[in-house]
Chains A and B, each alone.
Chain A
Amino acid sequence: MADLVLSGLSRRFGADFAVSGVDLAVTDGEAVVLLGPSGCGKTTVMRMVAGIVTPDSGTVAIAGRDVTDLPPERRNVGLVFQSYALFPHMTVAGNVGFGLKMRGVRGREAADRVARVLDLVELSALAGRHPRQLSGGQQQRVALARALVTEPDILLLDEPLSNLDALLREQLREEIRALQRRLAVTMLYVTHDQKEAMAVADRVVVMSDGRIKEVGRPVDLYRRPRERFTAEFLGQTNIVAVVASAGRLTTAWGERLEAEAAVGDGPALVSVRPEDIVVVPDPDGPGEIRHVAFLGAEVEYHVALPGTRLRVRRSGIAAGLFAEGTRVAVAMPERVHALEARP
């Protein structure tokens, strides 16, 4: 187990920067998720850590050792792929034992370690099967066991759940998280799914266009994002234009709000989550419900207000269900979060 430090990592493919100036420090035993839309460079960063892609500039250090120029086989990392990447010509036990064989661990000890890690992912009964005889979820658990059996310094996972169906995805997500905690292995996890990122991570790294946008604990990034990109990529949000004056924020429809932290005077942007807004029917209210989507656990409204449109989400039977065209009063949270960016 070890820490991971990336400094100034850059990589071009052709004329475009796939990754540009990435600095990141992952502490020993920490779970860090690289989150971003496809093409943002998160997989390239992971591949540079694994040694599959060589950086144009910058360094990768694992456990204090600069591994930038080492080939993958000398870095002691475990890699789990979206495609599972199990060896089709080997059994489950053969796949899991591959890394041990490469390290010269043989016989009794190798068999014991394979058995132990298969037990960990609850696949002991399938040790003699071939990958094609397993379901997607089972294959990915084998891949996880294969990556863990060699006790890697860093466990790397590249969209490990993206090929699985929704239910299995949640279940395996929890298993991966529990396993990572239990083994206290340093983990770098790549995904484009913000829920998955928040569920798995100690810290989330939001990436866009090959750069790191923002790094933080899931709750901080969700509730107090600095960047508009973060606010919009992590869940849904309303970006509302306000005017700040002596610490008070005024919306276009005249509601006065309090800022969580000091905001300089002038126009500003606040991010308000749909679930933090309450709407109440009121014939004299400023808003009108333009669109209603009943989603089962929650109801989503699009509310038109002077100069803007808000997305509002209510849940539970007590919140009621209002028809399109209803005039409503809108209650924003008492304290709102202003973004760093200005309009």
Chain B
Amino acid sequence: MIGAGRRGGSRAFLSAGLFAALALTLLVPLAVGFLWSLVDPRSGWFAPALLPGGLATVHWERALASPRLVGGVLTSLFISTVVTALSAAIALPTAYALAKLPFRFKRAVEMFVLAPLIVPGLVVGIGVGILFFRLGLAHSVPGVILVQTVGTLPLMIRIVAAAIEAIPDDLIHAARTLGAGPVRVGLLVVAPLAWPGYVAGGLLSFVTSFEEFEKTFIVGSPVVQTLTILLWQNLGGQAIVFPNAAVVTFILLTPVLLIFALGSWLPRGEGALAAGMGKL
């Protein structure tokens, strides 16, 4: 009993600490940001004041009044959806090969697949941008979709490969001996069991694509105006304007929160999300 009580106590202590850390790193900055977005430009917010001198919704009104905003949201949603679907389709065979098939130079291929995660987006963007310009893909939605897929594919492949790797070979062999060919094994056994990886990889790809700036800017701007590009233009030009930046933060955060809420709300979504991200 004593041992159990002590363990219970340290558990409560630990979770209190974790929640405090979460609050400090996530909630406090968000609260400060939210206050910044509401600062009244007439009174401002200067040190050492803990709270702004006055509150106003003028920054929000200005940002939301922009007629291009709705168009930007729609463009972004369309591009992110296509990028996610494209990543998912391309990732499946690659992830399956990396997870289940033995072949030469597997490590090298793995490194190659993951390279876009390591190389800065600006480098990829400039390189691809020049190429796309020659191919006539610059300043076009398909061009933006392709260049963003370069960035999301490693995430998708990595997560889906981990999910497929976790499926025991025996299950696949059992399905084969029971009469399922490779395609039906993929659809009836591998896909349902790799579903958590797909949910996690899909959400990450969607969010990454939605928030992507450098590559989209280089390849797409000024013709393709995604939400991110519009909002960046809103930051203040020469120097950052804090209240505007705060509004941008919250507008960009909304889809992320929505997507993750959707992920946990989907049937089996929460478990899938946790499992797909690699169990903590």
Contacts and interface: CB of A to CB of B under 8 A. Distances in A.
Interface of A: 50-52, 71-73, 75, 77-79, 81, 83, 85, 87-89, 98-99, 102-103, 143, 146-147, 150, 156
For the complex of A and B, the 6 pairs showing the least CB-CB separation, nearest first, are: A102-B179, A85-B170, A99-B178, A72-B176, A85-B174, A79-B177
25 contacts: A50-B173, A50-B177, A52-B173, A52-B176, A52-B177, A71-B181, A72-B173, A73-B177, A73-B181, A75-B177, A79-B173, A79-B177, A83-B168, A87-B171, A87-B175, A87-B189, A89-B193, A98-B175, A98-B180, A98-B188, A103-B179, A147-B177, A147-B178, A150-B178, A156-B177
A98 B189 CA distance: 11
A71 B182 CA distance: 10
B171 A77 contact: no
Contacts of A71: 176, 181
B177 A77 contact: yes
Nearest to B179: A102
A193 B178 CA distance: 27
**Could you say which of A75, A77, A87 has the most chain B C-beta atoms within 10 Å of its C-beta?**
A87
A87 B187 CA distance: 13
Contacts of A102: 178-180, 184
Nearest to B174: A85
B185 to A, nearest CB: 9
Given A52-B176, A72-B176, A85 B181 contact: no
Contacts of A50: 173, 177
Contacts of B177: 50-52, 72-73, 75, 77-79, 147, 156
B98 to A, nearest CB: 21
Contacts of A146: 174, 178
B17 interface: no
Contacts of B71: none
A79 B172 CA distance: 12
A81 B179 contact: no
Given A73-B181, A146-B178, 19 more contacts: A50-B173, A52-B176, A52-B177, A72-B177, A73-B177, A75-B177, A79-B174, A81-B174, A83-B168, A83-B170, A87-B171, A89-B192, A98-B175, A98-B178, A99-B179, A102-B178, A102-B179, A102-B184, A147-B177
A83 B168 CA distance: 9
Nearest to B184: A102
Nearest to A81: B170
A150 B176 CA distance: 13
Nearest to A77: B177
Contacts of A77: 177
B182 to A, nearest CB: 8
Nearest to B192: A89
Given A52-B173, A81-B170, A73 B192 contact: no
A88 B189 CA distance: 9
A32 to B, nearest CB: 18
Interface string B10-54: 000000000000000000000000000000000000000000000
A49 B275 CA distance: 36
B204 to A, nearest CB: 23
B191 to A, nearest CB: 10
Contacts of B178: 73, 78, 98-99, 102, 146-147, 150
Contacts of A143: 174
B272 to A, nearest CB: 12
A73 B176 contact: yes
A45 to B, nearest CB: 15
B154 to A, nearest CB: 27
B193 A88 contact: yes
A62 to B, nearest CB: 12
**Could you say which of B174, B175, B181 has the most chain A C-beta atoms within 10 Å of its C-beta?**
B174
A99 B180 CA distance: 8
A81 to B, nearest CB: 5
**Could you say which of B171, B179, B184, B192 has the most chain A C-beta atoms within 10 Å of its C-beta?**
B179
A73 B174 CA distance: 10
Contact of A51 (B170, B171, B176): B176
Contacts of B189: 87
A110 to B, nearest CB: 13
A98 to B, nearest CB: 5
B171 to A, nearest CB: 5
A122 B181 CA distance: 30
Interface in B133-185: 168, 170-171, 173-181, 184
Contacts of A87: 171, 174-175, 189
A200 B11 CA distance: 52
A146 B173 CA distance: 13
B103 to A, nearest CB: 15
A85 B180 contact: no
A51 B175 CA distance: 12
A152 B34 CA distance: 67
Given A50-B173, A83-B170, A85-B173, A73 B193 contact: no
Contacts of B171: 85, 87
Nearest to B173: A52
Nearest to A80: B174
